[in-house]
Amino acid sequence: MTGGRRHSRPWSARGILAAAGLALAAIPGAGAAPRRCPLTAATFAPLEGPPGLALTVRDGEQGPVWRLAWEGTDHTVEFGTVSHSGNGHTILVEEQPESSGGESVETRAEVFDAGLSALNLPRAIENPGRRLAAYVLLPGLRDGLARKAKAGPARPLPAEGLWVVRACAEERP
Amino acid sequence: MTRVAALLAGALAGLALAGPAAAAPIGCPLARAAFAPVDGPAGLTLQASAAGRDVAFELRVRGARERLRYRLVRRPDSALPALLPTARDAEPLGRAVLLGPDLRTVAPDQATPVAFAFFEGLWSHSYALSLRDGRERPLPPEGLWRVAACRR
């Protein structure tokens, strides 16, 4: 071995802390904690885009109403919440599908807190301040919207992954 | 202990105390991952393995011999894959969503690093099996599963 050049300069404290900071920032919930909000005050955006999509949840007469809006347009799709009494699963069902081109869009909805623990939706609605929503997963939404898009004008479709809280209308007591 | 080491130790301790939201998700190649439900119950494991070019899953219950076997298949109507029970004539379950350590969706390939997974229909499939054969089983939750171990 000829002995290559040896790096005698040790890592500086600033360098090590910067590296640690970068490592922490790469961890969801560590570097940038997810935003949390009572479910029916939250507006979500798809983590993987595209930008310009907003899913707003508000109280309705028969449970939460979820309004998906394409910002900059007047196009929205509204969903009602149906909870399956047997297994507790929650389904979002498009309301008035005929107004937006026929077939109704349906998807399972799973809401998670900042630790990715599932929120029981009926309980979260009854007691919105108790556990706050941070993420929602809607695995059938993109496919449902894509089917509908075939019959109507093309609009950007949300990615399949998690939605994150983008805005919170109110902090409830 | 140097000042830098003390600072780093403090930062790591703070991270450990910050709770589950701050716990670093483990990324593991999909075909080597063992998943456990984020919300329990304890004792349930979904072990992935390579099966030819595909990824197979085995649902194991601690203390029970029975193992429910599935294969991850592509759905014709979706970009998301689905679990297909290996029993003959079985229908694919609902959509499966695989998330990497950064919580973004990842492709269902054997080498893809995953950290979390969601399997629509797993609960219903186990429940339907129990109704059919009259055997009680702990039902897998339909929330997220996290990587709990990564096989070498």
B95 contact A CB<8A: yes
Q: Taking CA B98 as the corner, what is the angle to CA A70 and CA A54, rounded to the nearest 5 degrees?
A: 15
Q: Which residue is listed with tokens 């998330």?
A: B99
pTM of the complete model: 0.81
Taking only Cα atoms into account, the Rg of chain A, rounded to an integer number of angstroms, comes to 21
B20 is in which domain, residue-wise?
Answer: 3-150
Amino acid at A70: W
14-53 of B, contacting A, C-beta below 8 A: 15, 18-25, 38-39
Q: What per-residue confidence (pLDDT) applies to B10?
A: 44
- Contact call for residues B130 and B69 (beta carbons, < 8 A): no
Q: How high is the mean pLDDT of chain B?
A: 85
Q: Which among B152, B123, B151 is positioned nearest to B35, based on CA atoms?
A: B151
Shortest CB distance from A139 goes to which of B21, B95, B124? B95
Q: Are the Cβ atoms of A13 and B4 closer than 8 angstroms?
A: yes
pLDDT for the residue numbered A129:
65
B62-B65-B66 Cα angle (round to 5)? 100
B142 chain-A contacts, CB cut-off 8 A: 87, 89, 110
Q: Are the Cβ atoms of B105 and A27 closer than 8 angstroms?
A: no
Tens digits of residue pLDDT in B80-114? 999 999 987 788 999 999 999 999 999 999 999 99
pLDDT for residue A80 = 94
Cα gap A142→A158, rounded to integer Å: 6
Residues of A in contact with B20 (CB under 8 A): 115-117
Q: Would you mind telling me the total number of residues written for chain A in this entry?
A: 173
Which member of A24, A115, A160 has the closest CB to residue B21?
A: A115
pLDDT at B20: 42
What does the DSSP assignment read for A118-160?
BP-HHHHHHSTTTS-B-EEE-TTHHHHHHHHHTTS---PPPPS
Q: What is the pLDDT, as a whole number, of residue A120?
A: 75
- Which candidate, A122, A96, A161, A40, places its Cα nearest to that of B102? A161
Residue numbers in B near A143 (CB within 8 A): 77-80, 95
Parts of chain B with a pLDDT under 70: 1-24
One-letter amino acid for residue B143 of the chain: G
The span from the CA of A36 to the CA of A17, in Å, is: 28
Q: pLDDT under 70 in chain A at which residues?
A: 1-31, 85-88, 99-102, 122-130, 151, 171-173
Q: Kindly state the DSSP code that residue A27 receives in the 8-state scheme.
A: S
Could B118 and A161 be called an inter-chain contact, meaning their C-beta atoms sit closer than 8 Å? no
Structure tokens at A120: 């029981």
The whole-angstrom separation of Cα B83 and Cα B93 is 5
* CB within 8 Å: A29 and B102: no
Structure tokens at A21: 């900071």
The tally of domains found in chain B comes to 1
CA dihedral sign of residues B50, B52, B53, B55: negative
CA distance A151 to A121: 33
Chain B residue with Cα closest to A28: B102
Residue B96 CA to residue B126 CA, distance in Å, equals: 16
Q: What is the pLDDT of residue B1?
A: 45
CB contacts of A115 in chain B (<8 Å) are: 19-21, 38
Would you call A110 and B20 a contact, using CB atoms and an 8 Å cutoff? Answer: no
Report pLDDT digits (tens) over A129-138: 668 999 999 9
What are the residue ranges of helices labelled H in A76-128? 121-126
Q: What gap in Å lies between CA B111 and CA B114, rounded to an integer?
A: 9
